[in-house]
Every structure is written in structure tokens, then in C-alpha cells.
Structure 1
Amino acid sequence: MIVKDMLPISFLEGGGFLELMASVEPDYRVPGRTTMTKRIEKLYKDKAEDLRRSLSTISKVSITTDGWTALTTESYVTITCHYIDSEWEMKSAVLQTRATPERHTAENLAEGLRSATESWGILEKVTACVHDNASNVTLANNEYLDWDSSPCYAHTLQLAINDGFKLKPIHHIVAGARRLVSHFHHSTVATQALCQKQVDQTLPDHRLIQYCRTRWNSIYDMFDRLLEQRWAVAAVLSDRSVTTLSDARTLDLADDSWIVMEEMLPVLRSLKCATTALCGESGVSSSMIYPVTATLLTKHLPAAPEESKKVAEYKQTVSVSLKRRLKPDEESSVHRIVS
């Protein structure tokens, strides 16, 4: 239970758990931290040995790697292995998550990847490594390692999408929407008033969604929810017993901003669907890159006659950025599909 639910070992000493065990099985002696630590370590060794045996029967594998920073500002690198077993089922396994206090140079990253794959006996079996678009890990895979370097397409798409959000008019609208949502998240009075306005206007009892910088999809979610609750939000901002006039002037979005948000929803929805499809773990998503890209470039990103100039510029920026970020062979393949 501790391993499966990722509970701290101190869970064993919790008063509620001890009372539960005393009620369920009074004669059971709950193991201490030392005993449980040894059991978890043994479980890890057993699982690692099972994985090692499985990998020994596989001829080819691919890996993915990503660096991240914990809340304690410690840097970690995770390496995941992907392969097809003898039953033709795709399998994935996390090989390691280790702290990386050293500088994240291309040489150090390459040595970390080489050491990890070698320790699992798969160094000569790796056909490709999927990674983000950071220059250091890209250089590590291209110059120091003998396998194909495959930048994560979902990350590439995200970078192109974010280039569109950097356009000044779009950035201004996102900032205004974020400021509006933040007001409701930090004001108990405004939140309670919004709940009452939702009842009065028979709108869904939904909380406004804030934009998260590390998840561009949350901009779509923020716009979608604001449009759903637009008139309830407007009613709260116009209620002087809840919102002061100065705050209302600062927070209220112009009609043009609401129109752009509404026009952007379809294209953002398409981009969100593409990102979601390419982030799945249960299937081989690489085969979807060309058709997804071709569909975006020919159907969802071309400007429509009836939409505003701001939305057309956003689409154009994302389209140009996406084409620029594709590898030459990828761009030619997409071009053939489009043609």
C-alpha cells in the first residue's frame, strides 16, 4: 500500500492507521520504519531483477529522458525505457530518477544516459532517445551518443503555440483574463457573489480556471470557462457592493477581448487535441506526427475570412514557428502529405 499509493513511511505511525489496524486485526503488529524500509528495498530489487530479465530478451528499445526541478530546488533526471515484448505488447518502465547536482552540460547529460543504459544492459539496444528541445540534451544525443536523437514533438508543438501567445495583442488579452480570474481566486466576497450570480442566471456552478505557465492548455481552459461565465462575472463587476468602481475598470475586459477569446477557442481546441493525442503512453505516437501536423497546417491554422486580424496573426505565427522547428525530413514528409 505504501509503494502503490506513494505514501511516506511515517504513515505506519499515524494514529488513524494504528487505530484501524487495532480494530481490524488486534493481534497484528504494525512493522516499524526500519523493517518497512528493508521490505521496500527488497521489493525494488525484485522488480528491478524482473525488468532486467525482460530487457535481456528484447533486441531493440527506445528511451525518453527529461530533467525537472523539485520544490526543494534539487535537479533530477528521469529516464524511461519503451519496448515491445514477445507478446507484441508495448511496455514502458522507469529506469531511474536520480539527482543531478553537477552542471547540465551536454557531456554530463550524455554520460548519465550512457551510464544508465549500460547498467541495465541495453546500451547497444537503444535505437532512439526522445527528449525536449533544450540545446544541452539535444547536443548530448546528437554528438555524444550512438542513437537517433528525437526531439519530443509535443514539446515542439508547445513551443510553436507559445510563440503565438507572445504576440502583443494576444499576450495582453491573456494577461487581462489571468488578472480577472486571479481577482476571484483571491477574493472570498467576489467568489461568493459569483456563486449567487450563477444561481440567478441558471449558469453551471463552475469555478473560474487560472492559467498555469507550464501548461499552455490551461489558457484554452481559462478562456472557455470565462466565456461560459461571462455574464455572471460581468454582474459581479458591476455590483458596487462587491466590486469597487476602480477595481471594475481595471478588471473588466473590453468587448474586443471577449470576441478574440471566442474566436480563438476553436483553434486552441484543435491544438489541445493534437497535444493530447501526441502525449499518450499506451500507443506509438510517432506515426501520428505527420498527419497531425498536416491537418493543423491545412485545416486549423489557415486564416478564416470572418475572423479578426489578431486571431489570423496568431494562427500565422504558430504555423510559421511549427514549420521552422520541424526537421528537414519531417517538413518534407508533411509537405508531401499536404500536397
Structure 2
Amino acid sequence: MKHLSPRYKLPSRRYFSDTALPELFERVSSHIHKLLDGTKSPVSFTTDIWTSNVSLMSMLSLTAQWLDDEFELHQVLLCCEECPGSHTADNLRAKFDKMLAEWKIDKKRVHVVLRDNARNMTKALDDGNLPSLPCMAHTLQLAVIEGLQSQRSITDAVATGRRIVTHFKHSSLAYSKLHAIQEELGQPKKRLQQDVPTRWNSTFYMLQSLLEQKCALGLYATEHELPAVLTTNQWGLIENLLSILEPFEELTKTISSSSATAAVVIPEITALKRLLGRAADTDRGVGTAKATLLEAVQRRFKDIEKNPLYAVATAMDPRYKTCYFSAEVKDEVKRVLLNMLDTVDTSASKPTPDQPSGEPAAKRASQLLSVHAEILKESASNEEERLLGSPSSVQLHRYLSELPIKRSEDETVNDVLKYWHENKTHYPALAPLAQAYLSAPCTSVDSERLFSLASNVIDEKRNRLSGEKAEMLLFVKKNLPLMVK
């Protein structure tokens, strides 16, 4: 700049910190306020608590998402405040009340808050009269850990694999020798994956990377020393274990999408339980783990069909409707829907002729997807009933009588939102329910990804950054793209 324009004075760090950042924060904040004020739709939230490992700072997040009248999904970060002191339920409840008051969001507009399974967070939201659901990914993590720890042979094989990966992680010379062997075998040069305790799927990827490099590791062990070696029996155990964990990994990817909704919980868990209940050739040596996984999934997700937040969301998703409910639960869900529709005035709304909905074609089948196809086929043959009466009940009958839209490997929530955008005039009584219940996420992934970003903002070289400045930086980083589409 001194060469290009000698008279230009470069702004100081203090200018950006005390002037530019607050001004930009206010502009973005005003834009978010306009978005929230411009809709009366119910709003869903995610929340999480993060503690920095380079400073004493803890932060509490609150992200919001809702569907507008055109069924377009809006996702924003509302707050990422410093949370000093003890994280008791009373302190957290006061924080949530303060956040909602700052954004002028009435509690009646709060559809649901996605949280982790911590007792203090659960109690805080219950005491604040805020409906909440646990993060599905966290619950799935607990179930998988139970399964992995149920067999000593599995824990031993995983521990041995971890020691092998650690050996290569700590030695660049060992990796160079392994890469040379991979090149001799005509394999691509790949590094082994290291697992972390807080993500079960990292263990899956670690075992997968070991199995891919089985031949290379065998040749390496004949010429060089390793801290541990997997036996033939352990290699077979790992292969079978990966087979039963593959549906869990597929499901984790599905629900970790920022656009995944609460509607997927009941269908995915139903398909997962059916898949785990089947005997397979790959069960040899891992039967106890598979049985424990099934028991853990059944126990941790036992009441999801009775939860209206899950049940109504599933029924309003045109991919699922009531196909995944048992006969008794199906009748109960329909009664709940009719009671909700009784409060909606549809006297001025008349159904329009059926409009074709787009059906994405499947590219390839997966284990979970094939089970979904079975369940939908069984339900279609049993869906023969009549609901006569009010216009809203007629709409509900017509909606449930239609075949669910086809599922595919690369489907997204956009297919669902497109369906409701095209059919909102066809089902005017059902559209408000879809708008509310399909706005709810099934995980707190949005808040967790925010704190992955926070660890890059508050690092070792910026460990004295104030909570106020950190919040403004994160708020602008997350929400600025909404203003510059």
C-alpha cells in the first residue's frame, strides 16, 4: 500500500476491533431481525456449550431455523455468548430467557430446541417451558459405544489397531517405508486414520483404513518392527464388525446434514432395528456386539413413536407419512393430526386438482435403503381406509392415500420442501403443520460446527480475546453470507 498509494494510512488493529467489527455486527444483526420479524412461522433451535482448551472461556450457542411461506429453509446464528460460572440448570435457563428476549422471540413461537443429553441442559429447557429433544447423533454414539464395549475380543482388536496407527502417526520414517510398500503393491499412497474417543465413526474409519492396508501392513511387519500385530482371527473380526457398523455410519452421515429434520428419526431407527434383527453370514464372532447394539437402540429410542414432535414430523414428510408406524400407533398419530387440524380454519380453502410431484431416481442401493423400500411396500398394501367429515380430515385422507415419494441415495430435504411448495394450495390445512414440524432438526450439529469454527478464532495466539469480540466474529462469519447471496 505504501508503494501504490503513499498517502493512504492503513487502519490500525484497534480500528477493526473497536469500529469496523461492531458496525458490521450491527448491520448483520439488523438483517437477521428483519428476517425474523418478516415471518410468523414457528422457529426451531439448536444449542450447545463449548469450553476452550487454550483459555478459561466457555460459550453457549443458540442457532435458529425456520421455513417461510414458500417453504424455503432459513438458518441463522442468534447468539454465541460467553457463559461464565457454573453451568447449572438455573443459570442456563436464565441465559436462554435473555437470548430469546434480545431477539424478541415469544416462547409460543419456539417449536423445539435440539440439545445434548446432559441433565443440566435438559432441566434448564424444561424449567424454561421450552420443548426440547435430544441430539440423535449423541444418542446413536452412546448406543454404538455400548456395542463396541460388549465384547472383549472386539475391544482388544480395536486397541491393537489403535497401537499400530499410533506407531505410524509418530514416525515419518515408518510412513515413508509403508508408502514404499504401497507403491510396490500398486496401491495408492494412503495414511491410516486415527480415531478419537468422542466420535465413534472415527473408530469405524480407523478400522476401515487398516483393513484396506492389510497386505501392505503384513509386508511391513515381516521387515520392520511393529508395537502390535493383528492376528488372522482379529482381521476377520474387524471385517465382520465393519459390516454391522456400516448402517450406523451411513445413518450418522444422513443425520449430520445441516438440513436433516426430525422426520427422519422414526423411519431410520425402524429400518435400523429391522436390519440388526436379521441373521447374516457376517455375524460370526460379533454376535454379542450385534445383539447389544440392537438392545441399546431399542432402549435409547423406545419412546420416539409416542413423541408428537417426532411422529407428526414423520407423517408430514411425504417420503414416510404413516408407513413406519405400527397399526395402533398409526391410528393414534391420525387422531393427533385430526385434533391439530380442528384448530385450523379451512373454510375458505378448497383443494385443487392433484399435482404430480417430482420423484428422484435411485442410483444405487444401500442396506438401510433396501429396508426402507420393504417397509414402504408393506405399508402401501395396508393403507385402505376412509376419513370423512371436515375439509381438513378429507385433506388428511387424500394426503395419506397418496403413495410416498420415492427415496434415493442422493435425496435431500429440498425434495420434501419442493413437494410442499408445490402442494401447499392442494393441502392448505396440512401446510402449516408441515411448515412447523419440518423445520425441526434432528441433531445439534449446527451448534457443534459453530464451535469447530470457534476453536479457530480463539486459539493459542488469541487466547486473550474477549467473549464479546469472539461472539461478534463468529456471528458475522456465520451470518454474513445471508446478506451477500
Q: TM-score normalised to the size of structure 2?
A: 0.60
Q: Does 2:5 align with 1:30?
A: no
Deviations for 1:27-49, whole angstroms, at most 9, x for unmatched residues?
65432112222111100011111
Matches within 5 A, 1:169-318: 169-239=153-223, 242-243=224-225, 248=226, 250-283=227-260, 285-299=261-275, 301-318=276-293
Other structure's SS at 1:190 match: helix
Displacement of 1:266: 2.6
1:325 alignment counterpart: 300
Percent identity over the alignment is: 30
2:39 alignment counterpart: 58
Paired letter, 1:154: A
Q: Does 2:144 align with 1:154?
A: no
Paired letter, 1:55: L
Other structure's SS at 2:282 match: coil
Other structure's SS at 2:114 match: strand
Conserved? CA contact 1:303–1:312, under 8 Å: no
Structure 1 residues 331, 297: closer, same or farther in 2, change over 3 A?
Answer: farther
Displacement of 1:22: 5.3
Structure 1 residues 86, 31: closer, same or farther in 2, change over 3 A?
Answer: farther
* Cα distance between partner residues in 1 of 2:287 and 2:7: 71
* Cα distance between partner residues in 2 of 1:310 and 1:131: 36
Q: Does 2:100 align with 1:117?
A: yes
Paired letter, 1:265: L
2:71 alignment counterpart: 88
Other structure's SS at 1:251 match: coil
Deviations for 1:191-211, whole angstroms, at most 9, x for unmatched residues?
111011101111121011111
Conserved? CA contact 1:178–1:210, under 8 Å: yes
Matches within 5 A, 1:67-82: 67-72=49-54, 73-82=56-65
Paired letter, 1:41: P
* Cα distance between partner residues in 1 of 2:281 and 2:246: 18
Displacement of 1:215: 1.7
- Equivalent of residue 336 in structure 1, options 326, 336, 341: 326
Conserved? CA contact 2:148–2:154, under 8 Å: yes
1:5 alignment counterpart: none
- Equivalent of residue 113 in structure 2, options 102, 106, 129: 129
Conserved? CA contact 2:88–2:120, under 8 Å: yes
Other structure's SS at 1:307 match: helix
How many residue pairs match? The answer is 309
* Cα distance between partner residues in 2 of 1:274 and 1:23: 56
Structure 1 residues 292, 146: closer, same or farther in 2, change over 3 A?
Answer: same
- Equivalent of residue 139 in structure 1, options 114, 123, 133: 123
* Cα distance between partner residues in 1 of 2:57 and 2:117: 21
Conserved? CA contact 1:303–1:316, under 8 Å: no
* Cα distance between partner residues in 2 of 1:27 and 1:86: 52
Unmatched segments (≥5 aa) in structure 1: 1-20
Structure 1 residues 158, 335: closer, same or farther in 2, change over 3 A?
Answer: farther
Deviations for 1:238-288, whole angstroms, at most 9, x for unmatched residues?
11xx32xxxx4x4101111111111122322211111111121134x2111
Q: TM-score normalised to the size of structure 1?
A: 0.84
Conserved? CA contact 1:260–1:308, under 8 Å: no
Conserved? CA contact 2:51–2:58, under 8 Å: yes
User: Could you say which structure has the greater relative contact order, defined with CA pairs below 8 angstroms and 6 or more residues apart?
Assistant: 2
Conserved? CA contact 1:129–1:149, under 8 Å: yes
CA RMSD in angstroms, aligned pairs only: 2.2
* Cα distance between partner residues in 2 of 1:171 and 1:23: 63
Other structure's SS at 2:217 match: helix
Displacement of 1:308: 4.2
Deviations for 1:302-328, whole angstroms, at most 9, x for unmatched residues?
353423454222222122112211252
Unmatched segments (≥5 aa) in structure 2: 312-323, 328-374, 379-485
* Higher deviation after alignment, 173-182 or 159-168: 159-168
* Cα distance between partner residues in 2 of 1:324 and 1:190: 44
Displacement of 1:221: 1.0
Displacement of 1:291: 1.0
Structure 1 residues 316, 28: closer, same or farther in 2, change over 3 A?
Answer: farther
* Cα distance between partner residues in 2 of 1:296 and 1:66: 27
* Higher deviation after alignment, 34-43 or 23-32: 23-32
1:9 alignment counterpart: none
User: Which contiguous aligned blocks of 4+ residues in structure 1 show a shift greater than 4 angstroms?
Assistant: 21-28, 331-335
Deviations for 1:189-236, whole angstroms, at most 9, x for unmatched residues?
211110111011111210111111122111111111111111111111
Structure 1 residues 227, 126: closer, same or farther in 2, change over 3 A?
Answer: same
* Cα distance between partner residues in 1 of 2:232 and 2:253: 31
Displacement of 1:179: 0.7
Structure 1 residues 57, 229: closer, same or farther in 2, change over 3 A?
Answer: same
Other structure's SS at 2:326 match: helix
2:446 alignment counterpart: none
